[in-house]
Amino acid sequence: MQTAIDIHSENPRRGRAAAIASLRAENVHKTLGTHPVLRGVSLAAYPHEVISVLGASGSGKSTLLRCLNLLEVPDSGEIWFRDEKLDIRPPAGRNGARIGDARQARRVRASLGMVFQSFNLWPHKTALENVMEGPVHVRGLTRRAATECAEHYLRKVGLIERRDHYPRHLSGGQQQRVAIARALAMEPEVLLFDEPTSALDPELTGEVLRAIRSLAEEGRTMILVTHELSFAREVSSRVAFMQGGRIEEEGPPEEVLSRPASAGLRRFLDPVC
């Protein structure tokens, strides 16, 4: 609990009106197949904020996260990275929405670290190689500098002694920590977590949550899609509750989670009543 309070006191929310959001979605719509998954979602992450996005499965929270780094391209609405609007082409004819400026998308993605539910480590590369890939081939570091960078972040997630292991020789929790190191090695502005513990056995979630918590304590800007309610309550500066492709409620965790205003969130928090 102590940690959560620390974050809040450090969080410069007073200057929020003046500050520029690090990452912002504005009235985003997205239909997958014939199913409207996002129906006008706006969300902004300001520097040093930790935002948890909650909601039942199918509420659109993962799609929202994937829209933020254009793994899904919104049908309409805007995505802003700091003061830069991302170039999105709306659907035309039979073609779906697509990225307008591939270079921009790549540059922005490099500044947004993404951690996936299913880790998505590259199985043909060792832990170190997985982490080094971005520094060498996107950031353009020398091999020596990239190795140092990768080792730094592997040490940070507590896996430096596993640097030469292939993903298949690592536990799920270890794989996810390598994936976090891989995202960190890009020195990203914002970290995006897509249900990072959902694919893990319960006894392995702890090590991953600890790693995420320590990142929150560093004051990193993060958006976290999660099912871990108590964890979200502890680390978040803000929570957003999604239902039916919309954000139903949004605010500080102590308010939103203790005094839910909507019936949907009340049901979500306490399915029994």
Partner 1 sequence: MDIALITESIETLLGGVVLTLELTILSLLIGFGLSVPLAFMRASRSQWLSMPVLAYTYVFRGTPLLVQLFLIYYGLSQLAFVRESFLWLLFRDPFYCALLAFSLNSAAYTIEVFRGGIQSVPPGLVEAAQAIGLSPTKIRLRIVFPLAFRTVLPSYANEVVGMIKASSLASTVTLLEITGLARKLVSETFAPYEVFIAAGAIYLGLTFLASRLFNLIELHLSGAPPDKARFPWLLKLRQAL
Return residues touching partner 1 (CB under 8 A). 69, 71, 102, 106-114, 116, 118, 120-124, 126, 129, 133-134, 137-138, 164-166, 169, 179, 182-183, 186
Q: What is the DSSP string of 162-174?
A: GTT--GGGS-HHH
Q: What does the alpha-carbon distance between residue 42 and residue 64 come to, in Å, rounded to a whole number?
A: 9
Rounded to the nearest 5 degrees, what angle is found at the Cα of 100, between the Cα atoms of 97 and 104? 130
Tell me the closest approach of the beta carbon of residue 185 to partner 1, in angstroms: 8
Helix, strand, coil proportions of the chain in percent (round to 5)? 40, 25, 35
How near is the Cβ of 198 to partner 1 at its closest, in Å?
14
Shortest Å, Cβ 106 to partner 1: 4
Question: Is the CB of 134 or the CB of 173 nearer to partner 1?
Answer: 134
Q: Which is nearer to partner 1, 80 or 166 (CB)?
A: 166
Determine the Cα–Cα distance for residues 28 and 80; give it in Å rounded to an integer. 11
In angstroms, what is the minimal distance from the CB of 61 to partner 1?
A: 17
For residue 263, the minimal CB distance to partner 1 (Å) is 35
Rounded Cα gap, residues 204 and 207, in angstroms? 6
Give 118 or 258: the residue with its C-beta nearer to partner 1.
Answer: 118
Nearer Cβ to partner 1, position 56 or 199?
A: 199
State the Cα–Cα distance between residues 49 and 205, nearest whole angstrom: 23
Q: Kindly tell me which of 80 and 269 has the beta carbon lying closer to partner 1.
A: 80
